[in-house]
A and B are shown apart, each in its own frame.
Chain A
């Protein structure tokens, strides 16, 4: 009887235990489920979005850029932050936003370039962690603006204006008959001599104006010198050959030579075939010019203008046929080849001075003298500036340092 009673008690205790387990697990399940979810959410790492997103116009451009700035997410400003990057989204003309650029953590600036005027752009920035993201408020739509004046370049304008005034002054002086001195330039002294040699030998003159188009100042200088050369050629009745690699250069050269022949009173001797278009291809042009050189054996070769890798090929071929060669370019990398292989070389600025020197026209002479004023100013400023900063630094003289700071400010260009 006692044994049966104890068995009932045992079963009852087992029942109570099971009930306890079920109840407690149920209670546990009810009470613990939200806590577990919260724990999972914590592992997901919630992050704060970037704030204060501002879009402003990029200054002094052609209305093709906007600047975007923002304050990085709070989670990006603490050590070991959880932000792994930002994505800039853009909307054009209030259409749907599209991802534009991904940026590294810590970024707070983006320059959006290649935009169009009269188009509305809106942005927002999204910060993201490994498993979460948060986006900022979108900016109001704005359009890039363009400015008429680049105020930061005011000193550039002032100095350019002063030099321009000096150019006008010297042009005016030359027109009044004042004698403007220009020193002799060795290569140019040889031009008439070289043309005379071609006359004596009864061979043509080959004129190569470089391989760039009329939008290059060296080509312009070459065409200007061509005016003088072709006038002398017309006087001496020599044949001139001018293969070119640009159609516009062909047109300009034909106009120039035609005008020279008319000035010389021999318009009938002019022929369009004197100037011949070959090809725009650099080495195709070189192959053709080399062929012309060895077949026609010109007595004089002019290589004036912008040259690249073909400079030595042309100069060496000209040298091999014993032609007098007068070269000139403003490209420093090609000048060594011309100096090595040609008889006379116009170095850099001399090419531009040549046209003024040869023509003797008031406008060109005045321009050259005005540029000399600019060089003189540069020399004086360099000496004053170097002395001021060297003494200012060595002896800690504030006055000298101020002069240096002022010169650096004036000659700085953005």
Chain B
């Protein structure tokens, strides 16, 4: 059975790869199987994870036993009914006359999401970024571990350059994303420095990500030539 599964997987892998040549019936078949099976798979996963795993076992908690064999009773989590009610309201779309009701759970999701993430993003993207950027550029007072004497120690050239890159990159990046002023004159030049920093960052990120994608390709090639054809031992 496993042997057949490997052949089916290889057939479908090559079918998807054949898209590199052009759209063809083999690709269409593989695409349809991929989409159909994955849609069904996700339906089952989401049903058992959410409807059964969270809602049903939360509202009707099953009996559990401790090490001594005593029954642990859990109180039903009635708050889950709110989520269930919102989920049922989504199904109102199936009846055109009451379709408008489905906007309420959508509004709830959008509103609660915005509120929840506001503090997280504000904390990580602003507060911590500002705090991390404020630092001495050229050196600081430190205790010499050998003598115990407190003295000013200049940073190495490497550290000074690194600190300047963080400071200038963050500041000019903020200038670039400042939408209330036209990018002209000194402000425009500063914004241009900011976009240079962004592009250099993207270039480095591009190379890094391409290398990680190579590992995905290597994984498939290893499957085809190793698991399937047995050419790689």
Contacts and interface: CB of A to CB of B under 8 A. Distances in A.
A336 B206 contact: yes
A357 B110 CA distance: 20
Interface stretch (B3-11, B50-58, B124-132): B124-132
A281 B138 contact: no
A220 B110 contact: yes
A183 B127 CA distance: 26
Interface string A349-371: 11001000100000000001100
Interface stretch (A22-30, A69-77, A373-381): A373-381
A347 B118 CA distance: 20
Contacts of A382: 130, 133-134, 167, 170-171, 174
B66 interface: yes
Interface stretch (A120-128, A202-210, A229-237, A289-297): A289-297
B1 interface: no
Given A280-B39, A284-B38, A374-B126, A333 B138 contact: no
Contacts of B67: 96, 98
A286 B131 CA distance: 40
A38 interface: no
Interface string B181-207: 111000000000000001101110110
B134 A251 contact: no
Interface in A252-272: 252, 255
Interface in B1-50: 16, 19, 22-23, 27-28, 30-31, 34-35, 37-39, 41-42, 46
A413 B174 contact: no
Contacts of B122: 156, 159-160
B114 interface: yes
A294 to B, nearest CB: 4
B38 A281 contact: yes
Contact of A350 (B106, B174, B177): B177
A283 B34 contact: yes
Contacts of B179: 182-183, 185, 353, 357, 368, 372
- Most chain B CB within a 10 A radius of its CB, from A278, A284, A353: A284
A379 B133 CA distance: 10
Interface in A111-150: 118
B66 A390 contact: no
B177 A348 contact: yes
A408 B131 contact: yes
A280 B141 contact: no
A287 to B, nearest CB: 4
Contacts of A294: 22-23
A312 B206 CA distance: 11
Given A284-B39, A287-B31, A378 B130 contact: yes
Contacts of B66: 92, 95-96, 98
A156 B209 CA distance: 34
A339 interface: yes
B134 A381 contact: yes
B27 to A, nearest CB: 7
Given A379-B175, A393-B141, A156 B127 contact: yes
A353 B110 CA distance: 18
A390 B35 contact: no
Contacts of B126: 159, 374, 378
A404 interface: yes
Contact of A279 (B19, B35, B170): B35
- Interface residues on chain B, size class: 35 or more
Contacts of A101: none
A390 B183 contact: no
Interface string A328-348: 000011011101100000011
A215 interface: yes
A287 B109 CA distance: 29
A280 B38 contact: yes
A243 to B, nearest CB: 10
A209 to B, nearest CB: 14
Contact of B39 (A96, A279, A412): A279
A196 interface: no
A216 B67 CA distance: 42
B76 interface: no
Contacts of A378: 126, 129-130, 174
A309 B216 contact: yes
B180 interface: yes
Contacts of A278: 35, 39
Interface in A386-414: 386, 389-390, 392-394, 396, 404, 407-408, 411-413
A130 to B, nearest CB: 26
B152 interface: yes
A281 B41 CA distance: 9
A374 B119 CA distance: 14
B232 interface: no
A287 B38 CA distance: 12
B56 to A, nearest CB: 19
B28 to A, nearest CB: 7
Given A349-B177, A413-B128, A332 B171 contact: no
Nearest to B172: A379
Contacts of A335: 202, 205
Contacts of A348: 177
A182 B134 CA distance: 29
Contact of B130 (A183, A349, A381): A381
10 closest cross-chain pairs (CB), A and B = A281-B38, A385-B134, A336-B206, A284-B38, A280-B42, A336-B202, A279-B39, A411-B131, A215-B113, A393-B136
Given A181-B181, A288-B31, 19 more contacts: A96-B67, A153-B123, A159-B122, A183-B179, A278-B39, A280-B38, A280-B46, A281-B34, A309-B213, A309-B216, A348-B177, A372-B179, A379-B175, A381-B134, A382-B134, A382-B170, A393-B152, A407-B134, A413-B131
25 contacts: A92-B72, A96-B67, A96-B68, A98-B67, A160-B118, A160-B119, A183-B182, A183-B183, A217-B113, A248-B109, A279-B35, A287-B35, A290-B31, A294-B23, A333-B205, A336-B209, A337-B209, A374-B126, A378-B174, A382-B130, A382-B170, A385-B133, A389-B134, A411-B130, A413-B131
